[in-house]
């Protein structure tokens, strides 16, 4: 079983809560005795995970960017579905997927996964050759969502979208120059939302495999949003529509 590093309070605390049996080693900074560390240690004790106090230099050596907050864990990778077909076959409720075409910044991916978890997304998928993987930086920024939202790497993005359409999933692409507004698009049916990289946007073949292109109305002087912000807008419009459809009070 391969092990990976998780670091930062949010990421480690989420793993302790969701899958404590997967935590093989928990290292904490011996010099930290604040309330946040005490709370983490209580959670670890409740989960049956022993914490080992070490000096900060050891933690710095494990984590390249040193933004570990005094908490590092070695954990087993959790089992996740490996194909979009498997996701669709087992998705509870109406499928909601998020495709990322060319997102290479780990901070953006981490923020997107956090929003995806909050929005109940069944999987995030990206091309193998134009995307960042699930690095420790991604896991830290995602605050635990890298463990809860399947992140699939597909060989060919356009072909993956075509396969989703064959299975009855509408594919909605984000394009700043689109005529249609996101808010006029019905997202209550099985849907894959697809966003491209900042600047270049969606590639041509990806665009051609979208059922429709929509834009976020921009009312100020800037003409685009950071991709992680745009992903949150798209995802929570789907949540709003589906919540209202399920009987929740409208926003």
Sheet of strand 212-215, all strands in order from the earlier edge strand to the far edge: 151-154, 123-127, 96-101, 191-196, 170-174, 212-215, 180-181
- Statement: 3-76 belongs to CATH 3.30.70.141: no
pLDDT tens for 82-107 read 899 999 998 888 999 999 998 999 99
Residue 235: CB partners within 8 Å, gap ≥ 6? 96, 98, 115, 116, 118, 119, 121, 193
Mean local confidence (pLDDT), 113-139: 92
**DSSP three-state, residue 78:** coil
Residue 245: pLDDT band by 50, 70, 90 thresholds?
Answer: very low
Q: Where is 174: in which H helix or E strand?
A: strand 170-174
C-alpha 251/C-alpha 234 separation (Å) is: 15
Q: What architecture does CATH give domain 84-245?
A: 3-Layer(aba) Sandwich (3.40)
- N-to-C CA span, the chain: 45
Domain ranges of the chain: 3-76, 84-245
Kind of pairing between the strands at 23-29 and 71-76 = antiparallel
What is the rounded (10 degree) CA torsion for 38, 39, 44, 45?
70
**Residue showing tokens 């049916």:** 189
C-alpha 47/C-alpha 114 separation (Å) is: 23
Does the pLDDT of residue 135 top 90, yes or no? Answer: no
Mean local confidence (pLDDT), 151-156: 95
Question: What DSSP state is assigned to residue 77?
Answer: P
């Amino acid at each position: 079983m391969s092990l990976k590093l998780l670091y930062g309070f949010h990421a480690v605390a989420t793993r302790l809560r969701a899958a404590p049996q997967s935590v093989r080693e928990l290292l904490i900074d011996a010099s930290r005795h604040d309330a946040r560390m005490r709370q983490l240690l209580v959670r670890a004790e409740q989960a049956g995970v022993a914490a080992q106090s070490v000096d900060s230099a050891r933690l710095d050596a494990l984590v390249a960017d040193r933004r570990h907050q005094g908490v590092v864990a070695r954990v087993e990778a959790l089992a996740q579905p490996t194909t979009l077909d498997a996701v669709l076959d087992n998705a509870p409720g109406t499928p909601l997927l998020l495709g990322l075409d060319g997102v290479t910044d780990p901070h953006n991916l981490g923020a997107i996964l956090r929003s995806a978890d909050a929005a109940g997304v069944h999987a995030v998928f990206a091309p193998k050759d134009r995307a960042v993987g699930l690095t420790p930086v991604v896991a830290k920024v995602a605050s635990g969502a890298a463990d809860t939202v399947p992140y699939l790497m597909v060989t060919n993005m356009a072909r993956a979208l075509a396969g989703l359409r064959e299975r009855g999933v509408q594919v909605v692409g984000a394009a700043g120059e689109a005529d249609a507004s996101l808010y006029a698009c019905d997202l209550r049916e099985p849907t894959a939302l697809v966003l491209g990289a900042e600047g270049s946007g969606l590639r041509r073949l990806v665009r051609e495999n979208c059922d429709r292109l929509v834009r976020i109305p921009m009312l100020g002087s800037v003409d685009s949003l950071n991709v992680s912000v745009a992903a949150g807008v798209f995802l929570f419009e789907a949540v709003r529509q589906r919540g209202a459809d399920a009987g929740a009070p409208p926003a």
